[in-house]
Amino acid sequence: MPSFGELLKAARESAGIGQSELSRRSDVSQDAISKYELGKREPTWEIVQKLAIALEVDCRHFVTVEKPPKAKKATKPNK
């Protein structure tokens, strides 16, 4: 499952822009963007929204959902 940073970098590269341009468009520092992409920092929801708007993608683009492990069937106690 891709991380937020991997999804951010892929969206940025797909848009054909560098970190400095994304910083300018989103009003998020280039240092922060770099740290998000490297997985050294996690953004707030407000930042996710700014980045999504700047990249012209839906915020859901950055949401990854892991499937929960299958629950074990409940066993009835022996009587």
How far is Cα 28 from Cα 51, in angstroms, rounded to an integer?
8
**What does the pLDDT read at residue 1?**
83
User: What is the set of domains in the chain, with CATH numbers?
Assistant: 4-61 (1.10.260.40)
Structure tokens at 63: 């949401």
Question: Taking phi first (over 0 means left), then psi (-120 to 50 degrees means alpha), and beta for anything else, what does residue 9 get?
Answer: alpha
Q: Tens of pLDDT along 3-52?
A: 999 999 999 999 999 999 999 999 999 999 999 999 999 999 999 999 99
The number of C-alpha atoms within 13 Å of 31 and in the hemisphere containing its C-beta is: 0
Q: Tens of pLDDT along 30-39?
A: 999 999 999 9
- Collect all residues with Cβ–Cβ distance below 8 Å to 45 and sequence separation of at least 6: none
In this predicted structure, the answer to whether residue 57 has a pLDDT above a threshold of 80 is yes
**What does the pLDDT read at residue 31?**
98
